[in-house]
Structure 1
Amino acid sequence: MTSSNSQFQTETTDGALGSPAVIAFATQKGGMGKTTLSVLVASWLHYKRRIKVAILDVDGAQLSVYNQRIRESQQIQDDSHASAKLEEQNIEPYPILSGNPADVPELLADMPEGIQVVFIDMPGNIDVAGYETALKTVDYLIVPMETSEYSVTTGINYLNAIQEINLLPVERCRIVWNKYKPSRDGELADLLEERFKTIGLECLKSRIPQRDSYQDSANRSTLFPMPVNYLRNSGLKDLFPEIEMLLNLTAKPISDEE
């Protein structure tokens, strides 16, 4: 397994996050789950942990999150059971705003009062107009990777490009292993993490397993959190609190069912 030579230059930061905190799951390789992870984490934090979130969908080629909310809202009008369930949640759906990457500073300035965390669904191409403008607003960038040589090389090249143009210091970047199979990937992931440390790059402790069911509408909803009974075996149970700790969030106490 090889990867490109890193150009990372460690920069000092004061550790302070903006208000609201801004986070992006992003990479240039398609199929890494950046949008799915954004929705899963945002919905859990908002609906179960009562942390007020918003999503900015600036992936103009697809606007998949923004369009998903439109579809879900239309579908729920025709489903009395789902409508009642939404009302029982007793919390307004989090806002999903759309635009282009260059619009992000303006969208953040117009964010509804009380929002604690904003997730940005970024384009899959760093060369899109306004990409730099959007990424400069981010407090933490999380890059989903698989352990394959192509995925690692693409991810590291993406992070190098960000460092080379001084968009985000390495201390604000993390890698998360996605589509992970312990029997196949465990030893290699451990080895890669040690190599990443030599360039000042950290991995999240959470490793997200391969699960096609993350795409199921009941699990990846912008109106409801992932069902607790599914979460227990999803591999995501550790990711949600790790994001809370990373962003220094204050949430409602965790109940026994969670």
Structure 2
Amino acid sequence: MKEEPIYVAFSTQKGGAGKTTLTVLAASYLHYELGYNVAIIDCDFPQHSIHSMRKRDFKMLEDDEFYKGMAYEQFTRLEGRKAYPIVESDTSRAIADAERIVEDYDMDFDIIFFDLPGTMNNRDLILTLAHMDFLIAPIAASRVVMESTLDYMISVRDNIIATGKSNIKAMYLLWNLVDGREKTELYEVYEGVIKELDFPLLKTFLPNAVRFRREQNIEHKPLFLSTLFPPDKSLLKGSNVDTLADELLEVLNLTGHE
């Protein structure tokens, strides 16, 4: 009998908070670098950014001998391990799509990531959120972002978790787009507010850096954001993506599970 995968969403109602980028980085690092079996259900209708990224990645692979060689080398080293599936979906069928790929693929998925829209007045989104095991909300040191995200967390806690009818085991906040290498006093002020609301905060924070937007390109610079490759080791240092992956595995109780 197949093991049940853990459903995880980087979720917030604030656009531009980095949830799509975080989803791809976490999935690619865990799948290609650490050997966990992951999938992504892309419900962010109508743009479907992650599904579109996968199409761009495959197109570049077809057209560019450099990336074709990289892919051959990687998938040979990984002994035939394939690219993780990305399903184009929406909130009305997200859970059904997740259940389908679990049945269709000859593997046990460890984690299925969901890239969700942020509009809380969508009944299908609320039902999908209720099926998540863990929610991680990226935040930035901005009053607009903080207020929007904390309102979102409170709404999920009071209107979904409090009913006792959800699968949500925990929600976490994650500092993203941090200016500079270290957090300033402003972050301490915001963390005081977060503590008062009793929301757990992941220890890892991610910097605001150009590398987080570096996809495949005709100049063949080291890759950071890709659905087919993990972040290049030369760019990983200082990004905290590896640290985030390790902390996620602890939170999800998957350490040593690969």
TM category, shorter = 0.7 to 0.9
Change (3 A) 1:182 1:70: closer
| Contact 2:126-2:160 within 8 A present in 1 as well | no
Q: In 2, distance between residues paired with 1:84 and 1:66? A: 23
Matches within 5 A, 1:6-155: 19-90=4-75, 91-111=81-101, 112=105, 113-155=107-149
Query: After alignment, is 117-126 or 128-137 more displaced?
Result: 128-137
Q: Distance in 2 between matches of 1:169 and 1:224?
A: 31
1:84 CA displacement? 2.3
Does 1:159 pair with 2:149?
no
1:211 to 196, 209, 212: 209
The answer to whether the 8 A contact 2:180-2:208 is kept is no
For residue 236 of structure 1, report the CA deviation from its aligned partner. Answer: 2.5
In structure 1, give the amino acid aligned to 2:9: A
Residue type of the alignment partner of 1:109: E
Following TM superposition, by how much is the alpha carbon of 1:81 offset from its aligned partner in structure 2, in angstroms?
2.4
Aligned AA (1:59): D
What percent of counterpart residues are identical?
29
Q: Is the 8 A contact 2:130 2:167 kept in 1?
A: no
Does residue 224 of the first structure (1) align with residue 214 of the second (2)? no
* Native 8 Å contact 2:133 2:167 kept in 1: no
Deviations 1:55-79 (A, max 9, x none): 0000112100011111211220122
What SS does the aligned partner of 1:102 have?
coil
Question: Contact 2:8–2:114 (CA<8 Å) still a contact in 1?
Answer: yes
More displaced 10-residue stretch of structure 1: 151-160 or 105-114: 105-114
Q: Taking structure 1 as reference, are residues 166 and 53 closer, same or farther at Cα in structure 2, changes over 3 Å only?
A: same
Hey, what's the Cα distance between the residues in 2 that align with 1:160 and 1:22? 20
Q: Are 2:250 and 1:245 equivalent residues in the alignment? A: yes
Using the TM superposition, give the Cα deviation of residue 127 of structure 1 relative to its aligned residue in structure 2, in angstroms.
2.4
The one-letter code sitting in structure 1 at the alignment partner of 2:98 is L
Give the structure-2-normalised TM-score: 0.85
* Structure 2 SS opposite 1:238: helix
8 Å CA contact 2:134–2:168 kept in 1: the answer is no
C-alpha distance in 1, partners of 2:6/2:180? 32
Aligned residue for 2:119, secondary structure, equals coil
* Secondary structure at 2:135 match in 1: strand
Q: Tell me if the contact between 1:171 and 1:201 (Cα under 8 Å) persists in the aligned partners.
A: no
Cα 1:252–1:69 shift into 2, 3 Å: same
CA contact (8 A) 1:26 1:124 kept: yes
For 1:101 and 1:116, the matched residues in 2 are separated by: 21
| Structure 2 residue identity aligned to 1:162 | V
Q: 1:210 to 1:223 in 2, by over 3 A?
A: same
Select between 81-90 and 178-187 the one with higher mean Cα deviation: 178-187
**Structure 2, unpaired ranges of 5+:** 76-80, 216-222
User: In the aligned structure 1, how far is the partner of 2:187 from the partner of 2:168?
Assistant: 19
